[in-house]
């Protein structure tokens, strides 16, 4: 009413201008809303197409019929192409490989991951010596040896994760590890500071490949071929896939904790360059088995090779794998494959929230490589080598976290056998571990911050590392396994999104470490980090509370759930048909024998 009276008092020309302005604003708002709806519909369509394409290939690979016909029947009818698939108990199917072969893949994967993560923190205790050699005095510059490596961690997984779902795992692993070894040699021989930073960036880019690929390799050889994403029992010591992934997470932590010990003792005795010579020796040792013995594990790629071999033996044969017949032009790769992790970060609430929390925890982990020298060298006067040894309590916490995880898995398994109602909820399988780890992680930061005083022996604040390791490991096990469960066949892309996001914050925050500690002091800086981590530790509790509703509103989760249920139903129907055919054949044979 007041607005109407105000307009009535305006000059006629002013009145027209006011009404046109309001109409224009309303129209702009409507256009923005329309654009957002169009973007949302586009993303949802791409998600549905992603899920449809991948599950159709999965069905074809595992001989699941699509509505009574081949999933590529139109191609078969039009061109006469025959689609091959895995036979029952096929020895070339990675799920049926021997225990020894799977064990080798496990060990090589863990070694390459350690190789990569050790490189991230390798210069931490060597920085004072290399900056002295090259005359670098800026506190911001001194953080760059770690930050430039982590910049590579930001961009690398966005490439390696989706590509491993597109062209396979083995060749990407071999090429990336070979180049990582070459760039590590470059770090050892660097003539100046800029060259060293460039080699560090290249090391991070190619060293990030195992972070994105290894979990996919484990899923390739241990997952159930129909119900991907579920932890199936493996032959190797009766461990589940989730058990093995948890060992993988432990290895991602052990590498950065081992590196400061190497650089701390090398720098003070035989020179900082020997830190990288040691890393080069390790990289070369892990490269040899990868180049000569690591097999391809990605099922669709293996079927494609089988089809090509058959066509080579018989040029007239029109035999193809379903994966070969997927659209693979450059436009499809760029718009769907490589953008998948970015779409997940921007549109998937689960991925966004998980990335935010893991990014902060991961950044604090790398802040510790600058914070420990401030606390234990500047405050307590310890040597770089001894300061490096004080990272060992964190590793002890990681071991305790693994024990906690196995205890939880045992409790969960028994509860599932008893059909407890809470075990039916997706979030209650993994997220409770992160809910436990979050407050422990925050408490460890408060412990270190408020007990690091000259009148208190350095061993007391160093014990905060135990809680730090427990919390860090439980948070990562819980949240990343939840991502794997939620996004199943696109778990590599979801994990790549999480890896890139956390690496981005791990690049930015450490740049502020020295100024933050100078302005706030040790207790103030660690208290701030502890408060932030405590605030974000509410995210797992929100997932436990509203996770089902969040997944119900997810374009990816809806599409994956629909396609998975549809595929499961078809798989059951196909199994019944095979059993009926087998029974009919047996009856026919018996009749012939009677006659």
pLDDT in tens, 431-459: 999 999 999 999 999 999 999 998 999 99
pLDDT average, residue stretch 10-37: 56
Confidence of residue 52 (pLDDT cuts 50, 70, 90): low
- pLDDT value at residue 498: 77
Confidence of residue 504 (pLDDT cuts 50, 70, 90): confident
* Rounded Cα gap, residues 495 and 499, in angstroms: 6
Closest to 451 measured CA to CA, from 440, 461, 462, 442: 461
Residue 181's pLDDT is 96
Predicted local distance difference test score (pLDDT) of residue 323: 78
Q: What average pLDDT does range 290-308 have in this prediction?
A: 91
Task: Give the pair of three-digit tokens for residue 25.
Answer: 């604003």
Which range of 205-219, 258-272, 440-454 scores highest in mean pLDDT? It is: 440-454
**pLDDT, average across residues 236-260:** 69
* pLDDT at residue 260, as a whole number: 87
Which CATH number is 348-572 given?
1.20.1250.20
pLDDT at residue 288 in the model: 94
Mean pLDDT of 547-553: 78
Estimate the share of the chain in helix, then strand, then coil, as percent rounded to the nearest 5. 80, 0, 15
Tell me the percentage of the chain whose pLDDT exceeds 70.
Answer: 72
pLDDT band at 235 (very low <50, low <70, confident <90, very high): very low
Burial of 257 (0-12, 13-18, 19+ CB in 10 A): buried
Q: What does the pLDDT read at residue 527?
A: 94
Higher pLDDT pick, 153 / 249: 153
pLDDT at 138: 85
Average pLDDT of the chain is: 79
Q: What is the pLDDT of residue 507?
A: 81
| pLDDT for position 203 | 94
Specify the higher pLDDT residue, 427 or 334: 427
Whether the per-residue pLDDT at 501 is higher than 80: the answer is no
Mean pLDDT (whole number) for 372-395: 89
Looking at residue 584, what is its pLDDT?
63
pLDDT at residue 2 tops 50: no
In this prediction, residue 237 has a pLDDT band, given cuts at 50, 70 and 90, of very low
Which of the four pLDDT bands, split at 50, 70 and 90, describes residue 74?
very low
* pLDDT: which is higher, 286 or 71: 286
Which range of 183-192, 206-215, 326-335 scores highest in mean pLDDT? It is 183-192
Give the count of beta carbons closer than 10 Å to the beta carbon of residue 522: 20
pLDDT: which is higher, 122 or 344: 122
- The lowest-confidence range among 66-80, 215-229, 372-386 is 66-80
* Confidence (pTM): 0.72
pLDDT band at 193 (very low <50, low <70, confident <90, very high): very high
Quote the pLDDT of residue 6.
47
Does residue 568 surpass a pLDDT of 70? no
Render the burial of 135-155: b for 16+ CB within 10 Å, e for the rest: ebeeeebbbbbbbbbbbbbbb
From residue 422, alpha-carbon distances to 226, 346, 395 in Å are 24, 30, 32
CA dist., res. 18 & res. 16, Å (int): 5
Please tell me the predicted confidence (pLDDT) of residue 444: 96
pLDDT on residue 475: 94
Question: 22: pLDDT confidence band, cut at 50, 70 and 90?
Answer: low
3-class secondary structure, 84: strand
The residue with greater pLDDT, 578 or 63, is 578
The answer for residues whose C-beta is within 8 angstroms of residue 130's C-beta and 6 or more apart is 123, 136, 145, 193, 196, 272
Banded pLDDT at 5 (limits 50, 70, 90): very low
SS3 250: helix
Q: Is the pLDDT score of 532 beyond 70?
A: yes
Task: Decide if pLDDT at 553 tops 80.
Answer: no
pLDDT for 467: 95
The rounded distance, in Å, linking the Cα atoms of 511 and 517 is 11
At residue 315, does pLDDT exceed 90? no
pLDDT of amino acid 370: 85
- The span from the CA of 140 to the CA of 146, in Å, is 11
- State in Å, rounded, how far the first CA of the chain is from the last one: 99
How far, CA to CA in Å, does 111 sit from each of 175, 290, 338, 454?
Answer: 16, 10, 27, 39
Q: Where are the domains of the chain?
A: 2-60, 98-297, 348-572
pLDDT-derived band of residue 388, with 50, 70 and 90 as boundaries?
A: confident
Structure tokens given for 223: 């997952």
Q: Percent of the chain at pLDDT above 90? A: 28
- Residue 375 has a pLDDT of 92
- As a whole number, mean pLDDT of residues 354-380 equals 89
Band (491; pLDDT cuts 50, 70, 90): low
Q: Work out the pLDDT band at 40, boundaries 50, 70, 90.
A: low
Instruction: Summarize pLDDT for 77-130 with one digit per residue, the tens.
Output: 345 678 888 887 888 899 889 888 988 998 898 889 888 889 988 998 888 899
Q: Give the up-direction half-sphere exposure of residue 480: CA atoms within 13 A in the CB hemisphere.
A: 31
- pLDDT of residue 190 exceeding 90, the answer is yes
* Residue of 259 and 64 predicted with greater confidence: 259
Higher confidence at residue 254 or residue 377? 377
- pLDDT for 468 equals 95
In this prediction, residue 531 carries a pLDDT of 96
Provide the token pair at 522: 């040790």
Nearest to 117 by CA among 89, 154, 149: 149
Q: What is the mean pLDDT of residues 241-263?
A: 76
161-170, 288-297, 580-589, range with greatest mean pLDDT:
288-297
When comparing pLDDT for 60 and 125, which is higher?
A: 125
pLDDT tier at 179, thresholds 50, 70, 90: very high
- Whether 560 has a pLDDT exceeding 80, the answer reads no
CATH of 98-297, one of 1.10.540.10, 3.30.365.10, 1.20.1250.20, 3.30.70.2700: 1.20.1250.20
């Amino acid at each position: 009413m007041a607005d109407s009276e105000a307009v009535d008092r305006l000059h006629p020309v002013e009145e027209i201008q006011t009404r046109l302005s309001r109409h224009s604003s309303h129209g702009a708002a409507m256009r923005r809303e329309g654009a957002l709806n169009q973007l949302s519909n586009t993303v949802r369509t791409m998600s549905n197409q992603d899920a449809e394409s991948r599950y159709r290939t999965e069905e074809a690979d595992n001989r699941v019929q699509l509505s009574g016909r081949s999933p590529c029947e139109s191609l078969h009818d039009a061109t006469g192409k025959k689609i091959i698939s895995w036979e029952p108990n096929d020895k070339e199917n990675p799920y049926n490989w021997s225990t020894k072969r799977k064990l080798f893949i496990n060990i090589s994967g863990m070694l390459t991951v350690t190789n990569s993560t050790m490189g991230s923190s390798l210069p931490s205790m060597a920085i004072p010596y290399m900056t002295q050699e090259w005359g670098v005095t800026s506190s911001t510059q001194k953080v760059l040896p770690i930050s430039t490596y982590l910049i590579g961690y930001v961009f690398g997984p966005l490439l390696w994760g989706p590509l491993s779902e597109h062209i396979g795992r083995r060749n990407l692993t071999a090429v990336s590890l070979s180049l990582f070894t070459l760039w590590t040699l470059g770090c050892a021989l660097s003539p100046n500071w800029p060259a060293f930073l460039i080699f560090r960036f290249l090391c991070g880019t190619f060293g990030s490949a195992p972070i994105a690929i290894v979990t996919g390799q484990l899923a390739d050889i241990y997952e159930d071929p129909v119900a991907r994403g579920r932890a199936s029992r493996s032959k190797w010591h009766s461990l589940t896939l989730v058990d093995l992934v948890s060992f993988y997470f432990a290895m991602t932590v052990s590498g950065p904790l081992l590196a400061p010990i190497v650089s701390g003792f090398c720098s003070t005795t035989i020179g900082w360059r020997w830190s990288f010579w040691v890393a080069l020796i390790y990289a070369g040792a892990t490269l040899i088995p990868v180049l000569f013995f690591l097999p391809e594990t990605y099922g669709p790629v293996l079927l494609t090779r089988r089809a090509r071999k058959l066509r080579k033996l018989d040029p007239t044969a029109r035999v193809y794998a379903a994966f070969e017949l997927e659209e693979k032009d450059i436009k499809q790769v760029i718009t769907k494959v490589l953008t998948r992790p970015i779409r997940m970060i921007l549109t998937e609430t689960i991925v966004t929230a998980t990335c935010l929390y893991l990014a902060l925890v991961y950044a604090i982990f790398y802040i510790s490589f600058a914070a420990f020298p401030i606390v234990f060298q500047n405050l307590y006067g310890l040597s770089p080598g001894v300061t490096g040894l004080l990272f060992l309590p964190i590793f002890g916490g990681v071991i305790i976290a693994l024990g906690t995880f196995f205890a939880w898995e045992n409790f969960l398994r028994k509860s599932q056998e008893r059909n407890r109602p809470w075990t039916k909820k997706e979030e209650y399988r993994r997220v409770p571990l992160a809910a436990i780890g979050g407050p422990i992680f925050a408490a460890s930061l408060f412990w270190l911050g408020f007990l690091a005083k000259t009148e208190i022996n350095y061993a007391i604040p160093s014990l905060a590392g135990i809680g730090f390791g427990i919390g860090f490991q439980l948070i990562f096990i819980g949240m990343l396994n939840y991502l794997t469960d939620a996004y199943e066949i696109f778990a590599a892309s979801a994990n790549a999104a999480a890896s890139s996001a956390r690496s981005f914050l791990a690049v930015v925050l450490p740049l502020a470490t020295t100024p933050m500690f100078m302005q706030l002091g040790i207790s103030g800086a660690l208290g701030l980090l502890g408060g932030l981590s405590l605030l974000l530790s509410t995210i797992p509790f929100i997932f436990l509370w509203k996770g089902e509703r969040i997944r119900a509103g997810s374009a990816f989760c809806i599409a994956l759930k629909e396609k998975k249920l549809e595929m499961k139903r078809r798989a059951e129907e196909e199994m019944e048909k095979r059993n009926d055919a087998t029974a009919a054949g047996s009856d026919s044979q018996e009749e012939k024998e009677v006659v």
